Amino acid sequence: MFTQEIVTVTENKPVAEGYFKLSFNAPELAKNYDPIQFVNVKVGSGTEFLLRKPFSIYDHTDTDISILFKIYGKGTERLSQYKTGDSLDILGPLGTGVVPPKDNVPTALIVGGVGIGSVKALALKMPKQFDLFYGVRNQGEVVEKQEWSELANTVFMCSDDGSCGEKGVVSTLFQKQASAYKKIYVCGPHAMLKAVYDVCPETIESFFITEEYMACGFGICMGCVIKTTSGYKRICKEGPVFKGSEIIW
């Protein structure tokens, strides 16, 4: 069940260069979402932006939900200007979430950049049996470093410029140790997802968190599809998580 709600912003703070964590009051939602689900947010007023913009649910408290976003264009720029007490119109929770694995198979979360925003809710609900592979452009982009090092067994970092962790891309970093894992969850730009898929041994069960432009966010426009072995599927409805073997890359 999803609803449209007008919520109140409780905090909106920068958490890295160009990154914001925005929290809002939504006690029902905080109790009733699955990891990897998202909310579709109306940014600005009137037709300043006609369509809603999707953001993963990052984290929650008893009363609040937060999203983590990076400024990309005008919409996220506008969202970064929201202040405590402002109201925000949201639709959610949307998408098919992930039931956190109860088994203790060796698991890796592999993220690039703002992809970190989609996996925290999952990390919080998983047994502490996972490693994090985290790729960023540079040091300034790293979000909640301390918290992640407590959540994960080990955090493997890399950056494009070598300013934090190894210099290089996260798919290469992961490839070196891939044989240690049985299951991976991957989130980031499409090119990064594909690079991880390409180096991922077939023995690993892989799940990819995908993105596409969205209009409705709940399955009625057919706008947000991804090509799979059983035809086009809606990222907002059947997704956003798909098995690596299911996606036509």
Partner 1 sequence: MVNLDKKRVSPVKIGSVTYPNPIWLASGTVAFGAELSEILDLNMLGGIVLKGTTLEPREGNPPPRLVETPSGLLNAIGLQNPGVEGLIKDKLPFLKQFKVPVILNIAGKHEDEYVSIVQRVAEEAEVQGYELNLSCPNVENGLDLGTDPQWVESVVKKVKKVAGNVPVLAKITPNVTRITDLSKAAENGGADAISLINTLVGMAFNTHTQQPILANKIGGLSGPAIRPVAIRMVYQVRQTTSLPIVGMGGIMNQHDVDEFYIAGADCVQLGTLNFVDIHQLRSLINTAQS
Ligand X SMILES: Cc1cc2nc3c(=O)[nH]c(=O)nc-3n(C[C@H](O)[C@H](O)[C@H](O)COP(=O)(O)OP(=O)(O)OC[C@H]3O[C@@H](n4cnc5c(N)ncnc54)[C@H](O)[C@@H]3O)c2cc1C
Strand partners, 185: 109, 207
The size of the interface with ligand X (CB under 6 A), counted in residues, is 22
The yes or no reply on residue 117 touching ligand X (CB under 6 A) is yes
Contacting residue, 6, 199, 221, 248, with ligand FMN by CB under 6 A: 221
The yes or no reply on residue 220 touching ligand FMN (CB under 6 A) is no
Give the nearest distance from C-beta 53 to ligand X in angstroms.
4
Contacting residue, 211, 226, 233, 238, with ligand X by CB under 6 A: 211
The yes or no reply on residue 73 touching ligand X (CB under 6 A) is yes
Give the nearest distance from C-beta 160 to ligand FMN in angstroms.
37
Contacting residue, 127, 179, 221, 249, with partner 1 by CB under 8 A: 221
Contacting residue, 4, 61, 81, 179, with partner 1 by CB under 8 A: 4
User: Under a CB-based contact definition with an 8 Å cutoff, are residues 247 and 197 in contact?
Assistant: yes
Rounded to whole angstroms, the Cα distance separating 147 from 168 reads: 23
Find which of ligand FES, partner 1, ligand FMN, none residue 230 binds, CB within 5 to 8 Å per kind: none
Contact residues for 51 (Cβ-Cβ < 8 A; gap 6+): 214, 215
Contacting residue, 54, 135, 188, 244, with ligand X by CB under 6 A: 54
DSSP state string for 182-249: SEEEEES-HHHHHHHHHHS-TTSEEEEE-----SSSSSSS--SEEEETTEEEETTTT-SEEETTTB--
Q: Toward partner 1, which CB reaches closer, 139 or 228?
A: 228
Contact residues for 97 (Cβ-Cβ < 8 A; gap 6+): 33, 34, 35, 36, 37, 241
Structure tokens at 248: 């036509």
Backbone angles phi, psi at 28, to 5 degrees: -65, -45
The yes or no reply on residue 50 touching ligand X (CB under 6 A) is no
Question: For binding to ligand FES (CB under 6 A), which residues are involved?
Answer: 214-217, 219-224, 234, 236
